[in-house]
Amino acid sequence: MNVMNSPVIKLPFKEVGWGTVEIEMTILEDCPEQLTVLHWHEENFDIPIGADLLFSNAYVNN
């Protein structure tokens, strides 16, 4: 599977549950630097050329 020509890879762990993400790029005015979100995945992919990294956390960069 690919996301915008970037291969999807399986992580060595599942990321499931509520956790904090850091906002890497201000996309909205008055957006906080961190959000608590629900994670439910075990995949990752490289940021495609021309795309911007929006969120990351201590376990998964993108």
Q: Is 42 left (phi over 0), alpha (psi -120 to 50) or beta?
A: alpha
Q: What percent of the chain has pLDDT over 90?
A: 31
Compute the average pLDDT of residues 35-39.
Answer: 93
Residues 17-33 pLDDT 10s: 999 999 887 766 777 88
* Cβ neighbours, 10 Å, residue 18: 8
DSSP 15-55: EEEEEEEEE-S--STT--SEEEEEEEEEEEEPPPTT----E
How much is the pLDDT for 53? Answer: 86
> Using an 8 Å Cβ cutoff, are 23 and 5 in contact?
no
Q: What angle do CA 4, 28, 56 make, to 5 degrees?
A: 50
* pTM recorded for the entire structure: 0.68
